[in-house]
Amino acid sequence: MADRGFDLEDRLETLEETDLKRALSPVDRVAERGYFGEPSGGDLPVLETAEALVFASNNYLGLTDDQRVQDAARQAAATVGTGAGASRLVTGDTMVHRDLERLLAEVKGTERALAFSSGYAANVGTIAALEPDVVFSDELNHASIIDGCRLADAETAVYDHCDAASLRSQLEERARTATRDGRDPADESWLIVTDSVFSMDGTVAPLEAICDAAESFGAWVMVDEAHATGLYANGGGVVQAEGLEDRVQIQMGTLSKALASQGGYVAGSAALIECLVNDARSFVFSTGLAPPAAAAASEALHVARHSGAREQLWENVAHLRDGLESMGFEVLGESQILPVLVGDRTDTIDLAEGIRERDVVAPAIRPPTVPEGTSRIRVAPMATHDEDDIITCLEAFSAAGEEVGLL
């Protein structure tokens, strides 16, 4: 009988041959340093004996091992439960979810907020539930936005990265073709979606210019603040830093990066949240966010607003960027993410290995994740790195950069 299954060995070989096969490397804990293990497949991993400094995590404020955040998770587990047990619409809606959503709405300056079980689920569920006729999407938007557009079956117009003029010309083009084809553009629903901070480039979207363009055409704006939430004005994101709360209809983000937890959220009008509660399938048909995750995120958001963690992060970012640039490296972007541009793929891998040999972890990012010729090392400092950690990282880059012949 013919085998109607799947040739998985062949797929894995192809990944191996094209240098695209990924592997899982475990670590003993999530913090600014840890003991890593070599990829071990399904076998029990063996951790290395040397501790490595982590400059590769989205745990930007270092709050995953903060006592207050851990205590909040512990307490929620003990008093509410370890899991939500059901969809929020059944019996999984608890007081810790409500506390978190109230705080998120306050920080994001919106009427309401809604917690999802991941940022991925928030993006996919929200875009699909809105059912936009056309989505205007930055070319470097996150995969969950792209998947949301696919699920919504929306026509997608991709504009150049962080380029409001390119967005405007896409909006004009769509208005022209709609009129030409006998459709009234006013009958179509248009959604502009952008990350605020882009995770591989460290760039920040020109949100004000995007809002200007949107308003000229009556489109709505959705901003993904995954890499910004907790880090900007008053613990908000770039939308808060730029005072655009009233011009951005949908603010989305995750609880899994600076907020040191798990889950995602959408903040916006009461009507938007009511629609998502009813129509976002990733909300309706998925178990509610685990109560310890909701409580940890609330506490982390509180710490992000009221402690010196944000200032410490931005100080570390400035120190590291200055140090890398004064060595002669080109550092991209204008956020807490510091992509060190190398260009050549092999040199980038060698540089990443060189710093790893010096017990500093920062990943090589290569095609197809980034365009050919723009391979880079993504360096992500944390608020909990001290000055010695930053110096160790800089020394590793200096020594490995010379070894590879880049300096």
Query: Which residues belong to the active site?
Result: 199, 227, 257
Residue with tokens 């705080």: 103
Alpha-carbon distance of 367 to 243, in angstroms, equals: 36
Q: Is the Cβ–Cβ distance between 100 and 297 less than 8 Å?
A: yes
Alpha-carbon distance of 189 to 135, in angstroms, equals: 9
Residue 119 binding ligand PLP, by CB under 6 A: yes
Alpha-carbon distance of 239 to 157, in angstroms, equals: 23
Q: Which stretch binds ligand PLP (CB under 6 A): 2-10, 74-82, 116-124, 328-336?
A: 116-124
Q: Of residues 140-159, which lie at the interface with ligand PLP (CB under 6 A)? A: 142, 144
H and E: helices and strands count for the chain: 14, 14
Q: Of residues 278-317, which lie at the interface with ligand PLP (CB under 6 A)? A: none
Residue 142 or 174 having the CB closest to ligand PLP: 142
Alpha-carbon distance of 171 to 157, in angstroms, equals: 9
Residue 240 binding ligand PLP, by CB under 6 A: no
Alpha-carbon distance of 173 to 179, in angstroms, equals: 10
Q: What is the dihedral of CA 318, 407, 401, 371, to 10 degrees?
A: 80
State the number of binding residues for ligand PLP (CB under 6 A). Answer: 14
Residue 123 binding ligand PLP, by CB under 6 A: yes
Alpha-carbon distance of 372 to 51, in angstroms, equals: 33
Q: Is the Cβ–Cβ distance between 381 and 338 less than 8 Å?
A: yes
Residue 193 or 404 having the CB closest to ligand PLP: 193
Residue 227 or 358 having the CB closest to ligand PLP: 227
Q: Is the Cβ–Cβ distance between 219 and 136 less than 8 Å?
A: yes
Q: Of residues 219-238, which lie at the interface with ligand PLP (CB under 6 A)? A: 224, 226-227
* DSSP H or E segment with residue 92: none
What is the pattern of x (binds ligand PLP, CB under 6 A) and - over residues 245-264?
Answer: ---------x-x-------x
Q: Is the Cβ–Cβ distance between 130 and 191 less than 8 Å?
A: yes
Residue 378 binding ligand PLP, by CB under 6 A: no
Q: Which stretch binds ligand PLP (CB under 6 A): 28-36, 70-78, 115-123, 154-162?
A: 115-123
Residue 123 or 335 having the CB closest to ligand PLP: 123
Q: Is the Cβ–Cβ distance between 358 and 395 less than 8 Å?
A: yes
What is the pattern of x (binds ligand PLP, CB under 6 A) and - over residues 36-75?
Answer: ----------------------------------------
Residue 381 binding ligand PLP, by CB under 6 A: no
Residue with tokens 């909040």: 72
Residue 107 or 266 having the CB closest to ligand PLP: 266
Strands 134-138 and 155-159, sheet pairing: parallel
CB of 114 to ligand PLP, least distance (A): 14
Q: Which of 193, 155, 162 has the alpha carbon at shortest distance from 177?
A: 155
Here the tokens at position 231 are 């880090």
CB of 171 to ligand PLP, least distance (A): 23
CB of 334 to ligand PLP, least distance (A): 16
What is the pattern of x (binds ligand PLP, CB under 6 A) and - over residues 162-201?
Answer: ---------------------------------x---x--
Binding positions for ligand PLP, rule: CB under 6 A:
118-120, 123, 142, 144, 195, 199, 224, 226-227, 254, 256, 264
